[in-house]
Amino acid sequence: MSDVKIRLQEIVGSNISKFARMIGENRQTIDNYLLGRMPRGAFLKKLAEKFNININWLLTGKGPKELSAAVVREKKALYNTPAINIITSQEYKKLLKYQSPVEDCIPIPIISEPIVASNPLSVKEKDIEGFVFVNQAWLKRGHTYLCFRVQYNCMHPVICEGFIVAIDLNENEPLKLKRQIVATRFEDGISLKYLILTEKDYVLLPHNTAEHKPIVIPRTAPNPIIGKVCWWWGNQK
């Protein structure tokens, strides 16, 4: 592990705080890794994505330090979910007070499900549980994103209870979202379903059909879609 620590120090350089901001981790985490703690998989993935670091080199010393452009493109094609850093609202306030925001990342608020489902949407500071920092390269310019914690298992095992889900509020046109996972208003809350369009109805299909039934909404009714589900994060149980 001592060799890993030495190679990681070579990547980090002399300004640990700057490196922590660039990669979206807190300073203490980087310090722990430099003291010998084995880096987490999510951190290694960030190194590969943001700095083109060859993780095999970092862990074993074998191969080149940096990946070739062709290999980087190939690896990025495998990633369909951005690496993130999640912090509480209090931590975010401290970040703004004592440091500059995480470089190249945009904070997306995590708010309660009933607030996300409200129409019109009105988010107050007290409604924000925390923030998910996502690299701006993953976000569409001019679009608004929100996150919330899933409270049910209708999309299990794809999206499970406790997962954090990010939705794009600008992507809510049914004709453009066929067969995709969408967030819809349902019984004062949110329902995540696959969207199927028939001639007369919006059919919202759960992944877990054993315990949850499809929802059928006439296409003459107001559009129930809040937004497209972009990404989700969590550990499957």
The pLDDT, as a whole number, for residue 79 is: 45
pLDDT tens-place string over residues 24-39: 898 999 999 898 888 8
Q: Which residue has the higher pLDDT, 69 or 164?
A: 164
The pLDDT, as a whole number, for residue 237 is: 56
The pLDDT, as a whole number, for residue 80 is: 57
In the numeric block, the tokens 């809350």 are attached to: 189
Domain boundaries, the chain: 2-78, 84-233
Q: Give the CA radius of gyration of the chain.
A: 20
Tokens standing for 186? 């349902």
Considering the chain, what is the average pLDDT of its residues? 82
The strand order across the sheet containing 181-186 reads: 84-88, 128-135, 105-111, 145-149, 164-168, 225-233, 181-186, 189-197, 201-205, 215-218
| Fold equal for 2-78 and 84-233 | no
Answer for the pair 162, 234: CB distance below 8 angstroms, yes or no.
yes
Helix axes 2-12, 27-34, angle to 10 degrees: 140
- Conformation bin of residue 42: beta by default, left when phi > 0, alpha when psi is -120 to 50: alpha
The model carries a pTM of: 0.62
CA distance 135 to 103: 8
Average pLDDT over residues 209-231: 89
Within 8 A by CB and 6+ apart from 13, the residues are: 19
Answer for the pair 100, 21: CB distance below 8 angstroms, yes or no.
yes
CATH of domain 2-78: 1.10.260.40
b/e per residue 6-22 (b: at least 16 CB within 10 A): ebbeeebeeeeeebbbb
b/e per residue 173-189 (b: at least 16 CB within 10 A): ebeebeeebbbbbbeee
According to CATH, the superfamily of the domain at 84-233 is: Umud Fragment, subunit A (2.10.109.10)
Q: What are phi and psi of 89, to 5 degrees?
A: -60, -40
pLDDT tens-place string over residues 143-179: 999 999 988 888 888 888 889 999 999 999 999 998 8
